[in-house]
Amino acid sequence: MVLLILVLLCFNGMVYVNSQKVPAMFVFGDSIVEVGNNNFLNTLAKSNYYPYGIDYNRVATGRFSNGRSLIDFIGNMMGVPSPPPFLDPSTTGSRILNGVNYASASGGILEESGRHYGDRLSMGRQIQNFQSTLNQYKTMMNPTELNQFLAKSLVVVVTGNNDYINNYLLPGLYASSSNYTAPEFANHMINNLARQMLALYSLGLRKIFIAGVGPLGCIPNQRATGSAPSGRCVDSVNQIVGFYNTGLRSTVEQLNRDHPGAIFAYGNTYGVLGDILNNPAAYSFSVVDRACCGFGRNRGQISCLPLQLPCLSRERYLFWDAFHPTESAVYVFAWRAVNGPPNDVYPMNIKQMSVV
């Protein structure tokens, strides 16, 4: 109860976490942390229209939320501004001094994931874009300053969702479920992600938070299209995701053993959202089985469309649209990622990472 009160006070802007300021954040991943890169791509995966942003000063920025994103909250807690999207032409010069956001909706760990939506930035392309940013930094700082800047900066990685939702779980469009068993596919994802994290390490980044995949079988899209009874999560999907999360946590342990000068942390997305699903009233949620904005069964068959009228009590909903949590739900995960115990974020939380 004390934790819940603190979370709610923080959410209302009355209390903020005191922490040592990190110089910058670098963000990689998908629509959970997207802040507008897809606005500049030829893709169907866009959210630059109302009612997205209805609680973000009624401005649709490209965040896949009714309000603020995970990165907005983490940045606020850590005392660093939420970084701008890489593809915005104005993201240059002084605007990159607090970091850059490379995340792209429908992009995944694997290059092919999300291809049916059109263009997107896969993790591989996002890392290439970081190298472009790095070249800009080299003109702004001397080598010693740059090394210290990168080593103290926070990296947030939220990916893997589209490798399931927009790849493995779409057998009509992708062959992965025919080519791989669920454990094999999880290993395929993890091996690729491990190489990508080592690439970031080789470029000078040292504090890397990697979020696991949440209970995808409980999102409105899977409830609507899966085989589970009405009101139930699709257990088979959650079991598939479990192989990835177990492997990712082990990989984080191995990365830390192999690179003692760095800190890699695993965020237990599945556990945090599972807590909300199992006990929503403790977090002041009352609707966890359908979206606030969308159409069809569980409002998850067709996601939020332009000018659609969303639900009114958005703070009571766990899910904003067919795929994404509300601002309120994202805040809970952000708070626990920054402050939580090892069950939430392992081996240490983001606040602890910032002072190592």
pLDDT tens-digit profile of 17-58? 333 479 999 999 999 999 999 999 999 999 999 999 999 999
Checking if the pLDDT of 62 tops 90, the result is: yes
Per-residue model confidence (pLDDT) at position 209: 98
Per the domain annotation, does 295 fall within a domain?
no
pTM exceeds cut of 0.85: yes
Checking if the pLDDT of 9 tops 60, the result is: no
Per the domain annotation, does 100 fall within a domain?
yes
Gap between the Cα atoms of 74 and 21, Å rounded: 12
Number of domains in the chain: 1
- Which range, of 70-74, 224-228, 251-255, 271-275, averages the lowest pLDDT? 224-228
* CATH number, domain containing residue 265: 3.40.50
DSSP lists the bridge partners of residue 345 as 267
User: Following DSSP, what letter does each residue of 153-203 receive, concatenated?
Assistant: SEEEEE-SHHHIIIIIT-TTT-SHHHH--HHHHHHHHHHHHHHHHHHHHHT
Gap between the Cα atoms of 209 and 170, Å rounded: 28
Gap between the Cα atoms of 215 and 212, Å rounded: 10
Note the pLDDT tens digit of each residue in 311-350: 999 999 999 999 999 999 999 999 999 999 999 999 999 9
State mean pLDDT over 148-155: 98
Mean residue pLDDT of the chain comes to: 94
Per the domain annotation, does 92 fall within a domain?
yes
Residue % of the chain over a pLDDT of 90: 92
Query: For residue 7, what pLDDT band results from cuts at 50, 70 and 90?
Result: very low
Checking if the pLDDT of 140 tops 90, the result is: yes
Gap between the Cα atoms of 21 and 232, Å rounded: 42
Residue 79 CB-density burial (10 A; 0-12 exposed, 13-18 middle, 19+ buried): middle
Residue % of the chain over a pLDDT of 70: 94
- Name the residue range of residue 270's domain: 2-277+327-354
Q: What are phi and psi of 354, to 5 degrees?
A: -70, -20
The candidate with the shortest Cα–Cα distance to 271, out of 231, 242, 292, 251, is: 242
Provide the annotated active-site residues: 31, 321, 324
Per-residue model confidence (pLDDT) at position 5: 37
Checking if the pLDDT of 66 tops 50, the result is: yes
State mean pLDDT over 81-88: 98
Per the domain annotation, does 321 fall within a domain?
no
User: Exposed e or buried b for every residue in 131-167, given b needs 16+ CB within 10 A?
Assistant: eebbeebeeeeeeeeeeebbebbbbbbbbbbbbbbbb
Gap between the Cα atoms of 299 and 223, Å rounded: 10
Note the pLDDT tens digit of each residue in 155-185: 999 999 999 999 999 999 999 999 999 999 9
State mean pLDDT over 222-236: 85
Gap between the Cα atoms of 15 and 267, Å rounded: 23
Per-residue model confidence (pLDDT) at position 151: 97
Per-residue model confidence (pLDDT) at position 21: 78
Note the pLDDT tens digit of each residue in 90-123: 999 999 999 999 999 999 999 999 999 999 999 9
Per the domain annotation, does 286 fall within a domain?
no
Per the domain annotation, does 56 fall within a domain?
yes
